[in-house]
A and B are shown apart, each in its own frame.
Chain A
Amino acid sequence: MYQEVILDHYKNPHGRGLRDGDAEVHHVNPTCGDEITLRVKYEGTTISDVSYEGQGCSISQASASVLNDLLVGKDLAEAQRIQETFLELMQSKGRVEPDEEMEEVLEDAVAFAGVSKYPARVKCALLSWMAWKDATAQALQDAGAEPGRTTA
């Protein structure tokens, strides 16, 4: 479960710290007290920044760092595909062995495949991703865009 990649991200998180954003959300995992405050910044439909501050276990913290790596600079539609692929992997209960296609989409995030075998820890891995999804929905709403349209 504790892949080297995960420990690396935990010890040296990428993009940590709160910066300017279009929307901010605060998510908690009530079962273990993991917390994250996350901001998203868009330029058109491109994610120009995902910044965050949080506390919690190595899985939740490393996952936020990986998210920052993967999503910043991506177009929203592609980011959503990555998020959905990550969600699919995490909900697989350890039954999905990431193939080449998945590895291409998820990069470092495939290291979390092992976490999906531990139901109690899946929420830790998903915390920042759910926060990102929520923050994005808010940013789009605030921008007056219809969420369905920009993602099409």
Chain B
Amino acid sequence: MTQLPGLLDTEAIRKDFPILDRRVHDGRRLVYLDNAATSQTPRQVIDVLDEYYEQHNANVHRGVHVLAEEATALYEGARDKVAAFINAPSRDEVIFTKNASESLNLVANMLGWADEPYRVDSETEIVITEMEHHSNIVPWQLLAQRTGAKLKWFGLTDDGRLDLSRIDEIITEKTKIVSFVLVSNILGTLNPVEAIVRRAQEVGALVCVDASQAAPHMPVDVQALQADFVAFTGHKMCGPTGIGVLWGRQELLEDLPPFLGGGEMIETVSMHSSTYAPAPHKFEAGTPPIAQAVGLGAAIDYLNSIGMDKVLAHEHALTEYAVKRLLEVPDLRIIGPTTAEDRGAALSFTLGDIHPHDVGQVLDELGIAVRVGHHCARPVCLRYGIPATTRASFYLYSTPGEVDALIDGLEHVRNFFG
């Protein structure tokens, strides 16, 4: 078996993930390489979810009975865990949403309804990049259409990096918000935050970072990032679906208006008007995803027990190995950086003229799960002149043996359609 420096003890880790023992298609061992879409869930998180429903289930912040108090403590305890995980200065800066898309939509809508100096209107500009997931494109298109603001973006270089050569023309005095992805879900690129944040701060623009593909895989420190908002989602980091996070700087959350109205987010309500609860509750209308937040807290405990720096080192070693092996496959073209430097563990590629759906289907017959398509980042496919890609993405339980299985599988695909 291939040994690489920096690898985690995957034999032990894999025992925590019951699903990784599954056999598919007449007894083939599952090789799960679709972690950028969603990660698998460790027993430790499943147990916490079970226990929540078996022992503590109640609505939060309203009952005076035992269960309501326990559920509230667990839900708010999860907020503390998230805050510590991302080094937030205050727990009140952590807003629970249902996913990263909702987090990003929330930012766009806060700014759309805001007063000066945050207000986005026809005199102002919004900046994104060509490598964004649709969830960090469409909310800004909607905001631009509704306010008349101009939407601008950074293009991409041929090797899958942001083209920042015209940064001073793209981020200008008119820019109100710059929103970009920390690690691309399709290219794997890790973006240079500092250069973008520096320019945004120069012109007084806010910065929103989509950390959906970063928070699960590397230490994320919101203070070091110097962003104003950071969004990510629970189900890509060993947590359940239905729970996302928006972190925002406290003074912004105090100033900016709520988006969704309803229970939980108010202070007082009359038939004429209402006043709002302080953040984060101001942005959490209605019964929140309580069990899911508690599950995310358990996922963070699990990741902390391993150590995010170790997860990063593991994936870096594996990515280095996977890039090297993929480049040995004839007719294979990596879409994105072709080294492991400044990149995450999602690897997109094309294989000659074979359509990614065919690649994915034949790999599936071998028990290998990859993602095929445009990965909700269609502008990237357009930029590189391809209809779609096949994407393999790794996590803390992925092994060099699984990389080898992928390479063998691709050889099989080539023979099958060759």
Which A residues lie at the B interface, using CB under 8 A? 1-2, 7, 10, 31-35, 55-59, 118, 120-121, 124
Contact partners of A35 in chain B: CB under 8 A: 387
The answer to the question of B388 belonging to the interface, with a C-beta cut-off of 8 Å to chain A, is yes
The answer to the question of B362 belonging to the interface, with a C-beta cut-off of 8 Å to chain A, is yes
**If A7-B417, A55-B387, A58-B417 touch, does A32 touch B361 (CB 8 Å cutoff)?**
no
Would you give the shortest CB distance from A12 to chain B, in whole angstroms? 13
Contact partners of B289 in chain A: CB under 8 A: none
The answer to the question of B381 belonging to the interface, with a C-beta cut-off of 8 Å to chain A, is yes
Which B residues lie at the A interface, using CB under 8 A? 355-358, 361-362, 372-374, 381, 387-388, 416-417
Is there an interface contact between B416 and A2, defined as CB atoms closer than 8 Å?
Answer: yes
Is there an interface contact between A33 and B417, defined as CB atoms closer than 8 Å?
Answer: no
| Of the residues B361, B374, B387, B417, contact of A56 by C-beta under 8 Å | B387
Cα(A55)–Cα(B388), bound, Å: 11
Is there an interface contact between A58 and B373, defined as CB atoms closer than 8 Å?
Answer: no
Is there an interface contact between A33 and B387, defined as CB atoms closer than 8 Å?
Answer: yes
Cα(A56)–Cα(B372), bound, Å: 12
Cα(A56)–Cα(B416), bound, Å: 17
Cα(A46)–Cα(B387), bound, Å: 35
Contact partners of B372 in chain A: CB under 8 A: 32
| Of the residues A7, A10, A32, contact of B357 by C-beta under 8 Å | A32
Contact partners of A55 in chain B: CB under 8 A: 355, 387
Would you give the shortest CB distance from B406 to chain A, in whole angstroms? 19
**If A2-B416, A32-B388, A33-B381 touch, does A56 touch B373 (CB 8 Å cutoff)?**
no
Cα(A57)–Cα(B361), bound, Å: 10
Contact partners of A1 in chain B: CB under 8 A: 361
Is there an interface contact between A56 and B355, defined as CB atoms closer than 8 Å?
Answer: yes
Enumerate the 3 nearest inter-chain pairs by beta-carbon distance, A residue then B residue, closest first.
Answer: A33-B387, A57-B355, A57-B357
Is there an interface contact between A2 and B373, defined as CB atoms closer than 8 Å?
Answer: no
Contact partners of B374 in chain A: CB under 8 A: 33
The residue on B at minimum CB distance from A61 is B355
The residue on A at minimum CB distance from B387 is A33
| Of the residues B357, B387, B416, contact of A124 by C-beta under 8 Å | B357
29 A-B pairs, CB-CB below 8 angstroms?
A2-B361, A2-B362, A2-B416, A7-B417, A10-B417, A31-B373, A32-B355, A32-B356, A32-B357, A32-B387, A32-B388, A33-B373, A33-B374, A33-B381, A33-B387, A33-B388, A35-B387, A56-B355, A56-B387, A57-B355, A57-B356, A57-B357, A57-B358, A58-B358, A58-B417, A59-B358, A120-B357, A121-B357, A124-B357
Is there an interface contact between B355 and A121, defined as CB atoms closer than 8 Å?
Answer: no
Contact partners of A56 in chain B: CB under 8 A: 355, 357, 387
The residue on B at minimum CB distance from A120 is B357
Would you give the shortest CB distance from A36 to chain B, in whole angstroms? 12
Contact partners of A31 in chain B: CB under 8 A: 373
Would you give the shortest CB distance from B349 to chain A, in whole angstroms? 16
Would you give the shortest CB distance from A8 to chain B, in whole angstroms? 12
Contact partners of B355 in chain A: CB under 8 A: 32, 34, 55-58
| Of the residues A7, A32, A118, contact of B373 by C-beta under 8 Å | A32
Interface centre among B355, B362, B372, B381 (most CB of A within 10 A): B355
Cα(A56)–Cα(B374), bound, Å: 13
Contact partners of B416 in chain A: CB under 8 A: 2
Would you give the shortest CB distance from A86 to chain B, in whole angstroms? 20
The residue on A at minimum CB distance from B372 is A32
Would you give the shortest CB distance from A120 to chain B, in whole angstroms? 8
Contact partners of B388 in chain A: CB under 8 A: 32-33
**If A33-B387, A58-B355 touch, does A118 touch B361 (CB 8 Å cutoff)?**
yes
Contact partners of B387 in chain A: CB under 8 A: 32-35, 55-56
The residue on A at minimum CB distance from B353 is A55
Cα(A35)–Cα(B387), bound, Å: 9
The residue on B at minimum CB distance from A11 is B417
Interface centre among B358, B372, B416 (most CB of A within 10 A): B358
Would you give the shortest CB distance from A4 to chain B, in whole angstroms? 11
Interface centre among B356, B362, B381, B388 (most CB of A within 10 A): B388
Cα(A10)–Cα(B417), bound, Å: 9
Would you give the shortest CB distance from B24 to chain A, in whole angstroms? 14
Would you give the shortest CB distance from A136 to chain B, in whole angstroms? 26
The residue on A at minimum CB distance from B416 is A2
Contact partners of B381 in chain A: CB under 8 A: 33
The residue on B at minimum CB distance from A124 is B357
Cα(A10)–Cα(B388), bound, Å: 18
The residue on A at minimum CB distance from B388 is A33
The residue on B at minimum CB distance from A7 is B417
Contact partners of B362 in chain A: CB under 8 A: 2
Would you give the shortest CB distance from A90 to chain B, in whole angstroms? 16
Interface centre among B357, B362, B416 (most CB of A within 10 A): B357
Given contacts A33-B381, A57-B355, A121-B357, 15 further A-B contacts (CB under 8 A): A1-B361, A2-B361, A2-B416, A7-B417, A32-B372, A32-B388, A33-B373, A34-B387, A55-B355, A55-B387, A56-B387, A57-B357, A59-B358, A118-B361, A121-B361
